[in-house]
Structure 1
Amino acid sequence: MHPRVKPALRRAWRDLTTVQFGVARAHAVVLGPMDPATASMLDLIDGTRGLPMLRTEGQRLCLPDGHVDQLIARLADAGLLDDATGGGEEAQALRGRPDVLDRLRPDLASLSLTDREPTGGIRRLTARRKMRVQVRGAGRVGATVAAVLSGAGIGRVDVLDGGSVDASDVAPGGLPAGAVGERRGDSARRLVRRCAPGRASRQARPFRLARAARDEHTSAAPTSATDTGTADAAGPYAEPGLSLVVMAPRDGLAVYAPDPFLAGPFMASGTPHLYAGVIEGTGVVGPLVLPGASACAGCLDLGRAERDPTWPRMLAQWRSGRARPVQACDLALATAVAGLAAAHALAFLDGGIPASTGARWEASAPGLDWSAERVGPHYGCPCGAVRRRDPLAEWNQDNSEREDTSMEREPQETMAR
């Protein structure tokens, strides 16, 4: 082990014997009391030394025997420690790819903050490289989501959309202006490859899922191949199942009022899916649907019809009416929606339950005040989520082999608030 104080956390001394790691309250930790010699050791715990060398440095600082080990244990218990050489063979393989790792170092630093284990961050980063996500839609929102997921290290990102790129599809983080007139699928494929850390391989690459539990909740339906080339070579030649589908159609109505029929294959295969898009002047992220465990498109549809009996009649008119020549989709709002959707998708893929699970986040121009609306399971929906006493807890139990991202253990040190 080569211990390292997590580099993502800024350090400041509250007084002569008390040090605070981190600025924001979510991850700030206070340690104390700490004498000057022990404080000097903190600068030496930087990942360049193993425990034997750190013990030697402790002796040179006149620290008592066992003091360095106690300090390391104390930092680990507080969730402040990384292991610069740990994480297994896959982590070592990633460290051997500096062209890839240098691109992902900010992501790795962030992941280390959400996992208390010293090797948690690197393990989650390598797990991303074995996942496959499908994005349905290559407009201003969908293409940007695909680009962000690819750039964040997701091993394979497939983008499904038809037709040709229109000038209205162009976005700084999505399809470029030079892609106008090209087929959306081809242009999205190049975008994903361009954003991926490391060059993509033209030949088939072996894959395997990051977590065994994801095998039970994935779909192997064929999609457009957009291998980012970030997956490691291991195991038999096979494509991974879908870890997540992001529904980001160019028509915002399909997100604001998703068709339960179109989500049927995902519900049948148990594939988690997340809705994201812009309708008129409103950005929408969610719900994230965990089939059988949280509210789905059918629950949303039935709940609306129950609250407003005229809703089905109006929805039928909107869906069957003449297509609008231009969809209102403010560029800044679309970019914000894409970023929030990608963040929620990554939080789920990293093993968490983001706030969009069973909820919709909305922001409307000009105020752009994000607010959440809970979407509960409906008793009339055949998805069965309403019959679960605690759906999200049961989902976690069903997927118990996933790595735990919870912060259940409180450090012995005082948390800064």
Structure 2
Amino acid sequence: MHPMVKPALRRGWRDLNTVQFGMAPAHAMVLSPVDTATGSFLTLLDGTRGLPLLRDEGRRMGLPDGHVDGLVERLSRAGLLDDATGGGPAADALRGRPAVLDRLRPDAASLSLVAPDPGDAMRRLAARHALRVQVRGVGRVGAVLATALAGAGVGRVDVQDGGCVEPWDVAPGGLPVESVGERRDEAARRAVRRAAPGRPPRHGGARSASGHDDPGLSLVIVAPRDGLAVHAPDPAAFEPLIHSGTPHLFAGVVEGTGVVGPLVLPGETACVGCLDRGRTDRDPAWPRLLAQWRSGRPRQVPACDLTLAATVAGLAAGHALAFLDGGLPSSAGTRWEVSVPGFDWHARPVWQHPACPCGPGEKGKGEQTSEDEGPHETMAGQQPHAARLSGTWRAHV
């Protein structure tokens, strides 16, 4: 082990005996009491020395026997210590590719803030290389989202979409202006390859020989260019993902509103069938409206504010990475919505519906079956069922 104080946290002395690690309240910690000699020794915890050498340095600085090991243990329990050589074989392989690792160093530093054990941040970062994510829809939201995942180290990001790139599909970080007129999926795949630190090989879609959804997918992200398809997803279209147990996350823009979620964990959280049934329960006119919207001719150019699309893509990518890294983001069982011009995010719980055959509905009988989505209604203080998950989906990597 080569201990190092997590470099993502800036250090400052509150007084002569108290040191603060980190500036932002979310991850800052205070360590006290710290004597002068121990404070000087902290500068040696930079990942360049193993424990035997650190013990020798401690003795030369006048620290008593056992003090170095005790300090290392104390910092490790507090989640302030990392291991410059930890993370296992996959992390070692990543360190052997310095050009790739240099691209990912900011991501590794960020992961160290949420990965408490020494070496765990590099383990999680290296594990991303073995993951496969499919993004369905590569317009202003989907293309940016796909390149963000590839740039963050996800080893394979498959994209699926039809047609050709239109001028209004172009977005910074997504499809470039040079791709207008090209096949949308091919242009998006090139953008993903350019964004990836290791330039992954060319590949096609993620379908098995039988044509069914590939069970090897870690996550499917549904980012349709049609706003209606994210505002009111067709439950029948996602039954294969439910049956195969494939987690899937929805993201997109409808008119002036951005949507991230729900993240559907089959058998654990509400699905889009629950969403549809809950809306019908709340509003008897919902099926009639939906039939009209789906049968009507869509506008040629949908409303999709560029900054709103970037906001949605960024949040969706963050929720996807949190899940892929083994966590449970707040989009599980929840839709996050944001609208122009205020850009204030609101959580809309998606409740498990007792009539839905997806699995959670049977366990959710007797629970709340409505969704916080009415134009003049709120459900303040209530939490989606996903927040009470036992942890089955947490150990994903």
- Partner SS for 1:335: helix
TM-score, length of structure 1 as denominator length: 0.86
| Residue equivalent to 1:81 | 81
Residues 94 and 285 of structure 1: CA distance in aligned 2, closer, same or farther (over 3 Å) = same
| Residue equivalent to 1:215 | none
Q: Deviations over 1:320-377 (max 9, x none)?
A: 1012111000000000000000000000111111111111111111111111011110
Distance 1:25 1:297 in 2: 36
| Residue equivalent to 1:121 | 121
Greater displacement, 387-396 / 173-182? 387-396
TM-superposed deviation, 1:387:
3.1
Identity over the aligned pairs, expressed in percent?
66
TM-superposed deviation, 1:55:
0.8
Query: Which structure is higher in RCO with an 8 Å CA cutoff and minimum separation 6?
Result: 1
Q: Deviations over 1:62-103 (max 9, x none)?
A: 111111111101100100011001111111111010010000
- Whichever residue aligns with residue 198 of structure 2, its letter is G
Distance 2:200 2:121 in 1: 24
- Partner SS for 2:63: coil
Distance 2:139 2:392 in 1: 35
- Partner SS for 1:246: strand
Of 229, 244, 262 in structure 2, the residue corresponding to residue 287 of structure 1 is 262
Q: Deviations over 1:289-343 (max 9, x none)?
A: 1111111110000000110000100111001101211100000000000000000
Does 2:196 align with 1:221? no
Structure 1: which 5+ residue stretches go unaligned?
205-218, 224-238, 404-417
Distance 2:359 2:54 in 1: 56
| Contact 2:76-2:118 within 8 A present in 1 as well | yes
| Residue equivalent to 2:275 | 300
| Contact 2:241-2:248 within 8 A present in 1 as well | yes
Residues 202 and 251 of structure 1: CA distance in aligned 2, closer, same or farther (over 3 Å) = closer
| Residue equivalent to 1:66 | 66
Q: May I ask how many residue pairs the two structures share in their alignment?
A: 374
Distance 1:372 1:156 in 2: 30
| Residue equivalent to 1:12 | 12
Q: What does 1:12-411 align with in structure 2 at a 5 Å threshold?
A: 12-201=12-201, 221-222=207-208, 241-388=216-363, 392=386, 396-399=390-393, 402=396
Distance 2:286 2:387 in 1: 32
Distance 1:20 1:264 in 2: 50
Distance 2:208 2:97 in 1: 30
Distance 2:78 2:84 in 1: 17
TM-superposed deviation, 1:201:
3.2
Residues 143 and 324 of structure 1: CA distance in aligned 2, closer, same or farther (over 3 Å) = same
Residues 4 and 222 of structure 1: CA distance in aligned 2, closer, same or farther (over 3 Å) = same
Distance 1:78 1:32 in 2: 12
Distance 2:217 2:235 in 1: 19
Distance 1:171 1:289 in 2: 28
- Partner SS for 1:14: strand
| Contact 2:326-2:395 within 8 A present in 1 as well | no
Distance 2:394 2:11 in 1: 35
- Partner SS for 2:259: strand
Q: Deviations over 1:171-225 (max 9, x none)?
A: 0010000000000111011001000011333599xxxxxxxxxxxxxx97349xx
| Contact 1:135-1:157 within 8 A present in 2 as well | yes
- Whichever residue aligns with residue 316 of structure 1, its letter is A
Q: Deviations over 1:49-72 (max 9, x none)?
A: 011111111111111111111110
| Contact 1:293-1:394 within 8 A present in 2 as well | no
TM-superposed deviation, 1:386:
2.9
- Partner SS for 1:261: helix
Q: Deviations over 1:98-145 (max 9, x none)?
A: 010000000001111111100110110111110000000010000000
Q: Deviations over 1:211-267 (max 9, x none)?
A: xxxxxxxx97349xxxxxxxxxxxxxxx98101000000001100111101111101
- Partner SS for 1:68: helix
Residues 49 and 393 of structure 1: CA distance in aligned 2, closer, same or farther (over 3 Å) = same
CA RMSD between the two structures: 2.0
- Whichever residue aligns with residue 192 of structure 1, its letter is V
| Contact 2:326-2:394 within 8 A present in 1 as well | no
| Contact 2:150-2:156 within 8 A present in 1 as well | yes
| Contact 1:21-1:29 within 8 A present in 2 as well | yes
Distance 1:166 1:34 in 2: 61
| Contact 2:250-2:261 within 8 A present in 1 as well | yes
